[in-house]
């Protein structure tokens, strides 16, 4: 990474964002338009900064089957911003049928039937991945209408071949590698077995700037439930990492593989966690030959979010004998102070954003507020929703302002463990896990281990049930069973003939 002249005719400028989650809480009367407001700002920033293209790193949609309203809103924003008679200054050099699918003869801005002024390239995430009849994503609807260029699909999870989208502007050559979301356990296994092939340009490979965008767990949630950075190819120059929502947009250098990693994070808060409370930015990436420069742009149209931790045993004015009303009054005062802090944060946010972007959330929107309360040591909890009624017209999330948890008991086994376990992680161990936290893979594996069935593969059946439950794919289980029967029949015939 070195100095780049941003106004040079050879400089390729890309507006980079990830995890837009369009349609998140769209039925909520207060937060229903938050995801669309942020996405609209992102597209406007691309126009205002005269970006050559937009790159989105997965989870454009929050739901695998977005509502008609959500699809209509997304298409409206893309049509308004990306269509026009402006000249696109980048050339597409690779085969569009390989990049985007056999039905596409052109990149969208070279299609003679439509006028595109701002091209958008994107991959799918874990929320909007292909599924169901035809194995289609909601993004396919946008692509077939010429609004976006959808790349990075994989057809075999056990043998992945990643071919780059080759682009050129002047003397700058960009090899854009995309890998849409694959289940982390499967991709981890495939990469560990060296079954992922990264296809570099055939000619003058040293002249290409190699940019990769992927959408996977970057933080380890288990030994195989993430993708270690050292699994990626060392010839890459920059990796744009989607899926992780905490904004870490400044490039971080990986000394082991000699590339940089940028994690833009989400543009809308989908969880009341500390990572979502970090100020949200997008990246303006300038590439000139083999050098790049990355500017971070603060988003204005993001609902302010403040989160704090409270340990009741550490509050001098409270004791286990304190009444519920005394605890509620203390927490009420804390929330009042947090609301004031959120208002200050929002004013700074408006000042830091682009002056030509209108504040879509108004001058003083209701903030998101979260208080994580540890009530160990004899304290009693109370109903969080009843507490939220005190702020029903002042906070955007009155039903879940307060989150109670107990400090986990220490044990000889636990005292020997090392690591950076957060307080939120400790909290999750001390309270019963919600039903949604039970992994279907574990249930399927336990069931198959105790049964005499031999045809069904636990990972494939678990994946089918996950698609049925999370994605609404009513044919997933039938397809999985049909595939298992076909595989068994072929194996029997092969054994019989041998």
One-character DSSP codes across 27-84:
T-TTTTTHHHHHHHHHHHHHHHTT-SEEEE-S-SBSSSS--HHHHHHHHHHHHHHHBS
- In this structure, of 35-39, 89-93, 356-360, 431-435, the range with the lowest mean pLDDT score is 431-435
The pLDDT of 467-482, averaged and rounded, is 69
Q: Give pLDDT, residue 394.
A: 95
Residue 474 pLDDT class (50, 70, 90 cuts): low
Q: Give pLDDT, residue 417.
A: 42
Residues near 345 by beta carbon (within 8 Å), at least 6 away in sequence: 304, 306, 367
Pairing mode of beta strands 165-169, 172-179: antiparallel
- In this structure, of 213-222, 364-373, 421-430, the range with the lowest mean pLDDT score is 421-430
Q: Give pLDDT, residue 424.
A: 45
- In this structure, of 287-301, 314-328, 385-399, 417-431, the range with the lowest mean pLDDT score is 417-431
Q: Judge whether 70 and 26 are in contact, CB under 8 Å.
A: yes
Residues near 403 by beta carbon (within 8 Å), at least 6 away in sequence: 272, 370, 371, 372, 373, 384, 427
> Of 11, 29, 19, which Cα lies nearest the Cα of 264?
19
The pLDDT of 362-373, averaged and rounded, is 94
Residue 428 pLDDT class (50, 70, 90 cuts): very low
Q: Judge whether 373 and 404 are in contact, CB under 8 Å.
A: yes
Query: Distance between CA atoms of 107 and 113, rounded to whole angstroms?
Result: 12
Query: Distance between CA atoms of 268 and 101, rounded to whole angstroms?
Result: 30
- In this structure, of 194-198, 205-209, 486-490, the range with the lowest mean pLDDT score is 486-490
Element (H, E) at 406: none
Query: Distance between CA atoms of 126 and 182, rounded to whole angstroms?
Result: 7
The pLDDT of 42-46, averaged and rounded, is 97
The pLDDT of 228-250, averaged and rounded, is 95
Tell me which of 35 and 465 has the higher pLDDT.
Answer: 35
Give the number of other Cβ atoms within 10 Å of residue 471's Cβ. Answer: 19
Q: Give pLDDT, residue 456.
A: 62
Q: Give pLDDT, residue 434.
A: 44
Strand partners, 208: 173
Q: Is 140 helix (H, G, I), strand (E, B) or coil?
A: helix
Q: Give pLDDT, residue 455.
A: 62
The whole-angstrom distance between residue 2's C-alpha and the CA centroid of its chain comes to 28
> Of 248, 277, 303, 266, which Cα lies nearest the Cα of 58?
266
Question: Could you list the active site residues?
Answer: 127
pLDDT above 50: residue 41: yes
Query: Distance between CA atoms of 459 and 413, rounded to whole angstroms?
Result: 31
Q: Give pLDDT, residue 488.
A: 79
Query: Distance between CA atoms of 196 and 159, rounded to whole angstroms?
Result: 6
Q: What strands lie across the sheet with 149-150, from one edge to the other? A: 149-150, 120-122, 53-56, 12-17, 281-288, 291-298
Query: Distance between CA atoms of 226 and 420, rounded to whole angstroms?
Result: 17
Element (H, E) at 176: strand 172-179
pLDDT above 70: residue 332: yes
- In this structure, of 102-111, 118-127, 458-467, 481-490, the range with the lowest mean pLDDT score is 458-467
DSSP 489: H
pLDDT above 80: residue 327: yes
Q: What is the chain's mean pLDDT, rounded?
A: 88
pLDDT above 60: residue 419: no
Residue 484 pLDDT class (50, 70, 90 cuts): confident
Residues 72-83: tens digit of each pLDDT = 999 999 999 999
Q: Give pLDDT, residue 440.
A: 60
Residues 443-454: tens digit of each pLDDT = 666 665 666 566
Q: Give pLDDT, residue 470.
A: 63
The pLDDT of 220-228, averaged and rounded, is 87
Q: Give pLDDT, residue 266.
A: 96
Query: Distance between CA atoms of 336 and 333, rounded to whole angstroms?
Result: 5
Phi first, then psi: give them for residue 90, nearest 5 degrees.
Answer: -115, 145
Q: Give pLDDT, residue 167.
A: 96
Query: Distance between CA atoms of 357 and 362, rounded to whole angstroms?
Result: 12
Query: Distance between CA atoms of 27 and 32, rounded to whole angstroms?
Result: 5
Residues near 44 by beta carbon (within 8 Å), at least 6 away in sequence: 81, 354, 356, 357
Query: Distance between CA atoms of 436 and 442, rounded to whole angstroms?
Result: 13
Residues 141-188: tens digit of each pLDDT = 999 999 999 999 998 888 999 999 999 999 999 999 999 999 999 999
Q: Judge whether 387 and 409 are in contact, CB under 8 Å.
A: no
For residues 168-183, b (16+ Cβ closer than 10 Å) or e, as one string? bbeebbbbbbbbbbbb
Pairing mode of beta strands 149-150, 305-311: unpaired
> Of 171, 388, 463, which Cα lies nearest the Cα of 289?
171
Query: Distance between CA atoms of 408 and 398, rounded to whole angstroms?
Result: 27
Pairing mode of beta strands 165-169, 91-92: antiparallel
- In this structure, of 107-116, 131-140, 237-246, 251-260, the range with the lowest mean pLDDT score is 131-140
Q: Give pLDDT, residue 156.
A: 86
The pLDDT of 58-79, averaged and rounded, is 96
């Amino acid at each position: 990474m070195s100095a780049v002249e941003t106004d040079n005719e050879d400089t390729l400028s890309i507006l980079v964002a990830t995890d837009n989650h369009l349609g998140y809480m769209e039925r909520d009367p207060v937060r229903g338009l938050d995801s669309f407001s942020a996405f609209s700002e992102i597209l406007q920033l691309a126009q205002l900064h005269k970006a050559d293209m937009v790159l989105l790193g997965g989870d454009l949609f929050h739901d695998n089957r977005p509502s008609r309203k959500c699809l209509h809103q997304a298409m409206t924003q893309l049509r308004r911003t990306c269509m026009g008679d402006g000249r696109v200054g980048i050339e597409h050099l690779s085969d569009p049928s390989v990049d985007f699918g056999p039905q596409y003869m052109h990149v969208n801005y070279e299609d003679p039937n439509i006028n595109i002024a701002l091209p958008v390239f994107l991959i799918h995430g874990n929320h909007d991945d292909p599924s169901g009849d035809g194995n289609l994503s909601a993004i396919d609807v946008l692509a077939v209408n010429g609004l976006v260029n959808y790349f990075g699909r994989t057809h075999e999870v056990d043998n992945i071949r990643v071919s780059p989208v080759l682009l050129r502007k002047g003397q700058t050559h960009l090899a854009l590698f995309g890998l849409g979301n694959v289940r982390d356990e499967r991709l981890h296994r495939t990469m560990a077995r060296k079954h992922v092939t990264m296809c570099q340009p055939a000619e003058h490979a040293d002249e290409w700037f190699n940019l990769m965008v992927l959408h996977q767990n970057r933080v380890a949630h288990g030994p195989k439930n993430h993708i270690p950075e050292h699994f990626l190819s060392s010839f890459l120059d920059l990796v744009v990492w989607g899926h992780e929502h905490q904004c870490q947009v400044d490039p971080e250098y990986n000394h082991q593989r000699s590339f940089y990693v940028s994690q833009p994070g989400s543009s809308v808060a989908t969880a009341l966690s500390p990572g979502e409370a970090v100020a949200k930015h997008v990246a303006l990436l300038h590439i000139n030959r083999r050098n790049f420069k990355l500017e971070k742009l603060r988003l204005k149209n993001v609902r302010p979010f403040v989160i704090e931790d409270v340990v009741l045993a550490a509050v001098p004015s409270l004791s286990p004998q304190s009444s519920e009303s005394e605890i509620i009054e203390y927490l009420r005062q804390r929330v009042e102070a947090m609301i004031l802090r959120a208002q200050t944060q929002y004013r700074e946010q408006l000042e830091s954003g682009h002056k030509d972007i209108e504040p879509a959330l108004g001058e003083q929107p209701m903030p998101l507020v979260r208080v994580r309360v540890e009530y160990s040591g004899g304290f009693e909890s109370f109903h969080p929703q009843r507490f939220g009624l005190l702020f029903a017209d002042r906070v955007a999330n009155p039903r879940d302002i307060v989150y109670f948890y107990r400090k986990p008991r220490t044990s000889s086994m636990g005292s020997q463990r090392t690591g950076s376990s957060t307080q939120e992680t400790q909290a999750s161990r001390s309270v019963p896990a919600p039903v949604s936290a039970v992994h279907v893979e574990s249930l399927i594996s336990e069931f198959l281990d105790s049964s005499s069935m031999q045809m069904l593969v636990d990972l494939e059946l678990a994946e089918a049930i996950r698609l049925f439950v999370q994605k609404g794919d009513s044919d997933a289980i039938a397809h999985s069973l049909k595939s298992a029967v076909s595989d068994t029949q072929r194996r029997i015939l092969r054994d019989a003939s041998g």
